[in-house]
Amino acid sequence: MQSTPRANRLAIAFFGRRNVGKSSLVNALTGQEVSLISEVPGSTADPVSKSMELLPLGPITVIDTAGLDDVGTLGAQKIRRAKDILNQADLSVLVCDAADPDKGLEKQWLQTMARQGARILVAENKIDQAPDPAGPDWLPFDVPRVRVSATNGQGLDLFREALVALAAQSPPEPSLIAGLFPKGALFLLVAPQDPQAPKGRLILPQVQVIRDILDHGGLVSVAGFTELDEQIRSLSRRPDLVITDAQVFSRVIDRIPADWPATAFSIIMARAKGDLEVMADGARSIDRLRPGATVLISEACTHHALKNDIAREQIPRLLEKKAGGALRFELTAGNDFPETVARCDLIISCGGCMITRGHFLSRLKKAVAAGVPMTNFGLTLAYMGGYLDRSLEAFQ
């Protein structure tokens, strides 16, 4: 369970004012001291995450956030980080004090959550101090609510049941690839190993695609690039799809029959995490770049960059050659992503294998709303290499 990637976990985030018991409720749910508990307001600064298993949901990530009523310059930064987490959450728990009749801020946040399409559960905490509801019903629309005490455990079982029920309403994650093909389909995977990947492991997109094929009753043949010819000779039938790394795609399609459909791992990720058509159009917008344009390169994880890194060297070099002059590059990594992207002329993301589809889509929606084209590394390489249309044929 602990090795389950965060992108494959349901993310449950807790929001609320300072000292309403968010951290206590997180600790009660997990059965562990995940967050520091203090009577001092504002003791939670950066979001705190904990991986656990919540049956029958399976692996999840629980995220505790700072108080939504924090004050001062630092408080404003904490609130901004909490808003960032709202974009990442599959389920949002709004915790409030059952004894406090003032629910003005909670109403505002419920509206914000609703606008972003969040699945919301309200937890009225501290019912051991307020056995009866404080004042009239304050919920402005139909939102599930549980009354609970993180201190004595009252209502905690009902709280878990409500989370499970809310999670059951979540749309299923789309199949990466195998669900598009009949059971028994054969996939030929050409999987060169990235030198930045941990020794002894496949890179995550390769692992995720292989698992998806197995989960859907597909057949998979895997080899490295140098073994491709031998791999092809070993096949007893034509593969339904060839999948390879975008950086060697052109070399792979030169060595397979022209009628074999082929795509790249990153193209699969663009479809599964975002909107393939929108992101393919984003790659085509590269033609509009001119010297001095601003390109945001966004990675969803952090890693030590090696020489000829795809994000920091390969793609910038290709784009500047295409544009005919120097471009301005901005780089973000991990959970960092600009609040506003209107200053950018293009956004190029990684495949997003380390984040949930909802998190990736929140970034794509921000770009679309600002009128900024967005694509990913693989689609960029496919377009620049002249094989974008070939790599998309399997999805048309």
Bridge partners (DSSP) of residue 237 are none
1, pLDDT greater than 50: no
For residue 14, the domain's CATH number is: 3.40.50.300
Query: Are 117 and 262 in the same domain?
Result: no
Residue at a domain's end among 208, 234, 267: 267
The answer to whether 378 and 266 are in contact (CB under 8 A) is yes
Nearest to 380 by CA among 311, 334, 302: 311
308, pLDDT greater than 80: no
Query: Are 29 and 46 in the same domain?
Result: yes
* Residue 395 falls inside a structural domain: no
201-209 average pLDDT score: 84
Query: Are 258 and 290 in the same domain?
Result: no
Q: Rounded CA gap, 285 and 14, in Å?
A: 39
User: H-helix or E-strand containing 241?
Assistant: strand 241-244
**pLDDT value at residue 36:** 47
Residue at a domain's end among 236, 267, 298: 267
40-45 — which CB contacts under 8 Å span 24+ positions? Answer: 41/67, 41/70, 42/18, 42/66, 42/67, 42/70, 42/71, 42/75, 42/78, 44/78, 45/74, 45/78
The answer to whether 331 and 299 are in contact (CB under 8 A) is yes
For residue 373, the domain's CATH number is: 3.40.50.11410
**pLDDT value at residue 6:** 59
18-44 average pLDDT score: 70
383, pLDDT greater than 70: yes
What does residue 14 show for φ and ψ, rounded to 5 degrees?
-110, 130
Q: Rounded CA gap, 81 and 78, in Å?
A: 5
Number of domains into which the chain is organized: 3
**pLDDT value at residue 83:** 83
* Residue 11 falls inside a structural domain: yes
Q: CA 65 → CA 70, 95, 354, distances in Å?
A: 11, 11, 20
N-to-C CA span, the chain:
36
* Residue 351 falls inside a structural domain: yes
**Of the segments 18-22, 70-74, 139-143, 201-205, which one has the largest average pLDDT value?**
18-22
* Residue 173 falls inside a structural domain: no
What does residue 52 show for φ and ψ, rounded to 5 degrees?
-155, 180
The answer to whether 377 and 316 are in contact (CB under 8 A) is no
Confidence of residue 354 (pLDDT cuts 50, 70, 90): confident
What sign has the CA pseudo-torsion 239, 245, 246, 252?
negative
Query: Are 151 and 41 in the same domain?
Result: yes
Q: Rounded CA gap, 320 and 374, in Å?
A: 17
Query: Are 303 and 158 in the same domain?
Result: no
**pLDDT value at residue 213:** 93
**pLDDT value at residue 391:** 93
Confidence of residue 235 (pLDDT cuts 50, 70, 90): very high
Query: Are 154 and 200 in the same domain?
Result: no
Amino acid at 207: V
Q: Show the domain range for 226.
A: 178-267
Query: Are 237 and 117 in the same domain?
Result: no
Query: Are 11 and 148 in the same domain?
Result: yes
- Give me the DSSP letters along 337-350: --S--TT-SEEEE-
Contacts of 277 (CB under 8 A, 6+ apart): none
What sign has the CA pseudo-torsion 216, 187, 300, 369?
negative
**pLDDT value at residue 303:** 61
Instruction: Give percent helix, percent strand, percent coil of the chain, each to the nearest 5.
Output: 40, 20, 45
**pLDDT value at residue 172:** 67
**pLDDT value at residue 370:** 95
311, pLDDT greater than 50: yes
Nearest to 371 by CA among 327, 339, 341: 341
195, pLDDT greater than 70: no
Q: Rounded CA gap, 108 and 114, in Å?
A: 10
For residue 187, the domain's CATH number is: 3.40.50.11420
* Residue 172 falls inside a structural domain: no
The reported pTM is 0.76
Query: Are 149 and 28 in the same domain?
Result: yes
* Residue 396 falls inside a structural domain: no
* Residue 209 falls inside a structural domain: yes
**pLDDT value at residue 347:** 97
Residue at a domain's end among 240, 267, 294: 267
Nearest to 65 by CA among 112, 13, 129: 13
Query: Are 300 and 342 in the same domain?
Result: yes
Query: Are 93 and 17 in the same domain?
Result: yes
* Residue 286 falls inside a structural domain: yes
Query: Are 260 and 360 in the same domain?
Result: no
Q: pLDDT tens digits, residue range 112-133? A: 888 888 889 999 999 988 767 6
